[in-house]
Chain A
């Protein structure tokens, strides 16, 4: 059973555009929602994270929007750049230290 569903599987955006990746979860015990960025040949790196007591968190060009009632959260990348081309994973954790990951979104930003 996949506890965190991520979409789309792949995304192509033009430079300067907005990239949006969505995730949905079922487990209401989740209380920590990080996003990871992974470049080819590298391990995932924490990009930004949110807890359900806030509806939005912004760090530079990256914003997480969180909708607790809908059990959904999303990553917005503003002014997308070719250097943002990577695979993005949403994740969730709650009740234990175990992180549950979405299946990833491969983002390509065309110059």
Chain B
């Protein structure tokens, strides 16, 4: 158990809908990262927050947004969902934002868009 928690574990929804995925980092970790894992694209970095501020952005669609709250938990919002958004979404956390920090991954949320 990495200490990173994600809810829900599974999510099934329809095209056009909006969902929110939640992540609680390990105690003491200030950085939260979001990744998307699909069969064809592999693990893709979406976005990173450090202590409430956006730190780095990857291949995140404009329909997706994230935030990190004062208690350091983070939410990833996915809107106008398309079939291709079906994937595993992982959250990871690290102590700081430095390049030497190990990232600990949560168990993921499996999103199915029908």
Q: Please, which residues of chain B bring their CB within 8 A of the CB of A93? A: 99
Question: Is A79 interfacial (CB-CB < 8 Å)?
Answer: no
* Pairwise interchain contact B103-A99, C-beta atoms closer than 8 A: yes
Query: What is the CA–CA distance of A55 and B106 in the complex, to the nearest angstrom?
Result: 31
Contact with B along A81-111 (1 / 0, CB 8 A): 0000000010001101111111110000000
Least Cβ–Cβ distance between A18 and chain B, in angstroms: 25
* Pairwise interchain contact B99-A43, C-beta atoms closer than 8 A: no
| Size range of the chain B interface in the assembly | 20 to 34
Least Cβ–Cβ distance between B39 and chain A, in angstroms: 10
Q: Please, which residues of chain A bring their CB within 8 A of the CB of B105? A: 36, 43-45
Question: Is B52 interfacial (CB-CB < 8 Å)?
Answer: no
**Interface of A, helix, strand, loop or mixed by DSSP:** loop
Q: Please, which residues of chain A bring their CB within 8 A of the CB of B44? A: 101
* Pairwise interchain contact A46-B102, C-beta atoms closer than 8 A: yes
Q: A89-B43, A101-B42, A102-B42 are in contact. Are A41 and B97 (CB under 8 A)?
A: no
Q: Please, which residues of chain A bring their CB within 8 A of the CB of B106? A: 43
| Size range of the chain A interface in the assembly | 20 to 34
Least Cβ–Cβ distance between B33 and chain A, in angstroms: 8
* Pairwise interchain contact A103-B101, C-beta atoms closer than 8 A: no
Contact with A along B51-84 (1 / 0, CB 8 A): 0000110100000000000000000000000000
* Pairwise interchain contact A97-B48, C-beta atoms closer than 8 A: yes
